[in-house]
Amino acid sequence: MDFRLLGRVGAATGAEELQLGPVKRRSVLAALLLKANSAVPVEQLIAALWDDAPPTHARTVVQGHVSRLRALLASAGAGEHGVGLMTQGPSYVFEVPETLLDTCRFERLARRGRLRQRPADAVAVLGEALALWHGPALDGTAPSAPLRAAAQTLEEARLDVVESLAVAHERLGDRAGAVAVLQAEAAAHPLCESLAEALILALYRAGRRSDALDRYHRVRCLLADELGVGPGPGLRGAYETALRGGPMGAGGGGPVSLLPAPGAGPAPVPDARYEADARYEADALLLAPAGRPPAPAGPAPRLLPRGVRGFLGRGTELAALDRITGAGDGAVALVTGPAGVGKTALALQWAHHRQARYPGGTLFADLRGFGGVPVEPAETVREFLIALGVPARDLPDSSAAAAALYRELTARRALLVVLDNARGTDQVRSLLPSGTGSAVLVTSRIRLSGLIVEELARPVPLDVLGPVPATELLAAAVGEERVAAEPEAADRLARLCDGLPLALRITAAQLAARPHWRLADLAAELADEQRRLALLSLDEAEESGVAAALRITVQGLPPEAVRLFALLGVVPGPDLERYAAAALLGRDPAVAAEALDRLAGAHLVTEYAPGRYSTHDLVRLYARGLGTDEGALLRLLDGYTATALAASLAAEPGEKPCCTLPREAPADAPVRTFADRPAALRWYAVERENLAAAVTAARAAGHDDRAWRLAVLQWPYVVWSVRDGWAPLLEQALEASRLLDDPDAESRVRALLGWVLTREGQLSEALAQLELAPALAARAHDPSSEAIALVNLAVALDADGITDASLRHVTRAVRLAREAQDVLTELLALQHRTHQLLARGDIAAAERCTAYALALDDHGVTTGLGALRRAALRLSRSEALLALGEREAAESCTRQALAEAASQGFQEGVNRARSQLEALGRPVDLPAAPKGGDRPVRS
């Protein structure tokens, strides 16, 4: 098992990634892992989730996420790896071996690498430490102050290792390696003086003196522009070393000094350009960057349009563009993202600040791939040739000749080419310059896989803004005072706009046009889902706005992708995967998977985890307005029902199904298969929110026959996480079953709901349900269901002591299950019967009862509840044998029970077995680490 904080926060078992779910749950996990094996108070978790004042129900939200994490860890077998999430008073403790946490491994490797005497060993170990990073620390978590501070601390530790690695490379004599290590990091952290100092010295020692001087001037200007300060002593010293040291020796040795040697005559007066001075501005001395040809004579074209005003944030993406283009060799950067996310704004912001690096000029073209008539590549080539100095009368007649001339002219220039709004690789291919000193920046709503494969384009995905930068964008547009006066309303506006810059700018325009409106007024208007998209349009006649941008994106997609997009508004839950999409479409899962991939490529859905897709609210609202297939919701509900039925059979293969599919449900619908019980339980855990939303949607649409089934079919997962807030879902199912006047459905829901309430300690509420369940099952003529209801009723009655009524209920349950030849339900009844006999002191009868039960043929069921019932019966038998004085037989029986309980993760059974062995004075040797969980009872 592996837990990751150095990049996107995640957890995995082997090659399988755990589906952590929403941002706040991922943030809870991060906050716990940052203080692994220590108590973390609930207040600290709340602070990690909300940057501003938390809501009144914050503690409940945190508890819910902790509960889901526990269920996820249990389904992944975390206990086998020594991992557990424990409650300690008002705090939680995430117990995890340090070897499973990437931050601990990173610290250990960093420490070992710095202690290595041999440079080659240091390079290897420090490189291994840095290889643990897969992106910005704590990526994917809430932007709260505690998590931001923790991420900054981790990033500073990483930069320390980067600098140590560069030193190790230099000790090894690999000066180019030292430069390569530092160059990318210096581009990502342009204001970090220690990195800049190390890079300047590394460049100088590698014989790249002009690059070293150029780097100093860039950093000096950045410090002045961004912070209003000059370089510190270290950075200044590195500059003077590079400046005064003179050219490198031919053999690549140390620098040749330009100062006179002691006792020698006066040295030649150095050129004034080499004098060290605080105001040194000799940029003319600097050569063109390595690998870039000098610009030809004549003015360089500068075709960039005006940048977007009020540009904020996006530091990570800007740094990524610096890294990609800094690699040289004609690098191609591909900025992708959904409509209105600010791709063009990002491209222009970066290009305006970096075009000075390209002395050959800057070319720009809006390819109009999304809106209007797309520009033909040949037309853009002709415009570029004119910009590069070719007279219109000399332009070649054919497209092929024009493209050839473009390649010839760009081979001698260091150009920056910005290609905005590309719809396909064919629009871009002929516009790429041929010189290795050039760089290309492409923006698109589509994932241009062809450009990535053919031209090794490096993607820079652009997502919506987080809450803080979204609010800052509003403040920049409407005034900080207006936003500061209504911070809660501003935050609500940012959320209603989904953090989409286009929507935020339109919202700001609406406020600017209505200065008498409060932010809360517009937020109330936008909260109306029927009007939200209309309000997020500046001019319907010109079709400008969010809806128009989405409409244009959808155009040109394959028919199945368009149809699936139109059905996304039907999806009640937070996400979906290919089987749910297949149910929506009424097609094969392979077709649905292809449609989802095309929608993800167009950034209409987001693949936030392998095979799982979510949509932003504005996209869902737009899809909902497209009109829908009347049967789509019913198909989705039937798909979930069929899959839940398959999961219940895989989770408890020996149990009778608690229901069948509705009569009119298609029998040949594609259903996910489950290899084993753990796979089924994982599916339940991942789909819990979707199944709950499906129950609510089924009830709202009048499909009550689906609603109760979708709730009750989750019983295998309910028994493993019984205290995880199941009552509200089951209460919905109960109302649905009552409206149907279906005694079988009502009895099953009441039996399960009553058992859940019993385990929660709500005995009076539980009895109100359980006292009705047996009679309803009898009306439905289902003896197994009646037997289960009777046992659950007896369990609730016996909570305050064994009663004659509960004894009669269990006796009848045994007889009903035996007549129905339902061995597993009979085992359940006998298990509780034994408990009653032991509690009453009838030891001999308890021993006979367990002997009979353990001799029953359960058709080879070795997993799930059947195995757990046998383990529980063996433990009761051991108690009886011990009371009868048969110690050896009691020990043997206990050890069998311990093995069965441990193999099934039956923690209550493991604890009981250990206590009984200790009472016998025998050593406890656990056969396997338990997975944890509550003692299950079939409901």
SS (H, E, C) 543-590: CEEHHHHHHHHHCCCCHHHHHHHHHHHHCCCCCECHHHHHHHHCCCHH
Closest-CA residue to 669 (of 801, 581, 557, 547):
581
Q: Over range 663-683, report the average pLDDT.
A: 87
Quick one: pLDDT at residue 266?
36
| Amino acid, single-letter form, for residue 718 | V
Q: Is the pLDDT of residue 567 over 70?
A: yes
Can you tell me the distance from the alpha carbon of 339 to that of 341, in angstroms, rounded to the nearest whole number? 6
What the block records as the tokens of 105 is 């491994």
Quick one: pLDDT at residue 775?
95
HSE-CB of 436 using CA atoms within 13 angstroms: 7
Can you tell me the distance from the alpha carbon of 501 to that of 536, in angstroms, rounded to the nearest whole number? 11
- Based on the number of CB atoms within 10 Å of its own CB, is 279 exposed (0-12), middle (13-18) or buried (19 or more)? exposed
What the block records as the tokens of 719 is 């028994």
The neighbour count for residue 801, using CB atoms within 10 Å, is 8
| Neighbouring residues of 293: CB distance < 8 A, sequence distance ≥ 6 | 360, 411, 412, 413, 414, 435, 437
Give, to the nearest 10 degrees, the angle between helix 823-840 and helix 804-819: 160
Can you tell me the distance from the alpha carbon of 442 to that of 459, in angstroms, rounded to the nearest whole number? 9
Quick one: pLDDT at residue 251?
30
Percent of the chain past pLDDT 70, that is, above it, reads 90
Can you tell me the distance from the alpha carbon of 492 to that of 529, in angstroms, rounded to the nearest whole number? 14
Pick from 27-41, 273-287, 616-630 the range whose average pLDDT is largest: 27-41
- For residue 700, give Cα distances in angstroms to 678, 710, 777: 32, 14, 27
Lowest-confidence region among 88-102, 294-308, 425-439, 862-876? 294-308
The neighbour count for residue 814, using CB atoms within 10 Å, is 23
Can you tell me the distance from the alpha carbon of 620 to that of 561, in angstroms, rounded to the nearest whole number? 15
Q: Is the pLDDT of residue 215 over 50?
A: yes
Q: Is the pLDDT of residue 485 over 90?
A: no
* pLDDT tens digits, 4-30: 999 999 999 877 888 888 888 999 999
Model confidence at 934, pLDDT cuts 50, 70, 90, reads very low
* pLDDT tens digits, 612-626: 998 888 888 888 878
Can you tell me the distance from the alpha carbon of 765 to that of 30, in angstroms, rounded to the nearest whole number? 38
What the block records as the tokens of 190 is 């342009």
Closest-CA residue to 180 (of 203, 159, 157, 197):
203
* pLDDT tens digits, 136-162: 899 989 889 899 999 999 999 999 999
What the block records as the tokens of 92 is 């939680």
Quick one: pLDDT at residue 105?
92
Residue 40 and residue 84 in contact, taking contact as beta carbons nearer than 8 Å: no
CA 716 to chain centre: 27
Beta bridge partner(s), residue 607: 613
Q: Over range 362-379, report the average pLDDT.
A: 84
| Neighbouring residues of 286: CB distance < 8 A, sequence distance ≥ 6 | 210, 213, 214, 217
Can you tell me the distance from the alpha carbon of 392 to that of 386, in angstroms, rounded to the nearest whole number? 6
CA 505 to chain centre: 27
Strands 458-461 and 332-336: parallel
Can you tell me the distance from the alpha carbon of 924 to that of 902, in angstroms, rounded to the nearest whole number? 12
Q: Over range 166-180, report the average pLDDT.
A: 87
Q: Over range 567-590, report the average pLDDT.
A: 92
Quick one: pLDDT at residue 822?
87
Pick from 285-299, 595-609, 639-653 the range whose average pLDDT is largest: 639-653
DSSP-assigned letters across all residues of 443-467: EESS--HHHHHHH-PEEEE--PPPH
Can you tell me the distance from the alpha carbon of 754 to that of 757, in angstroms, rounded to the nearest whole number? 5
| Neighbouring residues of 564: CB distance < 8 A, sequence distance ≥ 6 | 581, 584, 585, 592, 595, 596, 599
HSE-CB of 938 using CA atoms within 13 angstroms: 34
Quick one: pLDDT at residue 925?
66
- For residue 569, give Cα distances in angstroms to 614, 617, 633, 677: 12, 9, 10, 33
Can you tell me the distance from the alpha carbon of 362 to that of 354, in angstroms, rounded to the nearest whole number? 10
Which value, to the nearest 10 degrees, does the dihedral of the CA atoms of residues 470, 476, 481, 483 take? -20
Lowest-confidence region among 155-169, 234-248, 459-473, 621-635? 234-248
Which has more confidence, 909 or 206? Answer: 206
Percent of the chain that is helix, strand, coil (3-state, to 5): 60, 5, 35
Quick one: pLDDT at residue 267?
33
Can you tell me the distance from the alpha carbon of 794 to that of 810, in angstroms, rounded to the nearest whole number? 7
CA 11 to chain centre: 10
Strands 10-13 and 16-17: antiparallel
Helix (H) or strand (E) holding 41: strand 39-41
Quick one: pLDDT at residue 439?
93
DSSP-assigned letters across all residues of 189-218: STT-HHHHHHHHHHHHHTT-HHHHHHHHHH
What the block records as the tokens of 350 is 């970066």
Q: Is the pLDDT of residue 297 over 60?
A: no
Can you tell me the distance from the alpha carbon of 606 to that of 387, in angstroms, rounded to the nearest whole number? 39
Q: Is the pLDDT of residue 295 over 60?
A: no
Model confidence at 739, pLDDT cuts 50, 70, 90, reads very high
Strands 544-545 and 606-609: unpaired
Residue 535 and residue 497 in contact, taking contact as beta carbons nearer than 8 Å: no
Quick one: pLDDT at residue 298?
46
Model confidence at 237, pLDDT cuts 50, 70, 90, reads confident
Residue 129 and residue 110 in contact, taking contact as beta carbons nearer than 8 Å: yes
| Average predicted confidence (pLDDT) for the chain | 83
* pLDDT tens digits, 316-354: 899 999 989 887 778 999 999 888 888 888 999 899 888
Which has more confidence, 466 or 112? Answer: 112
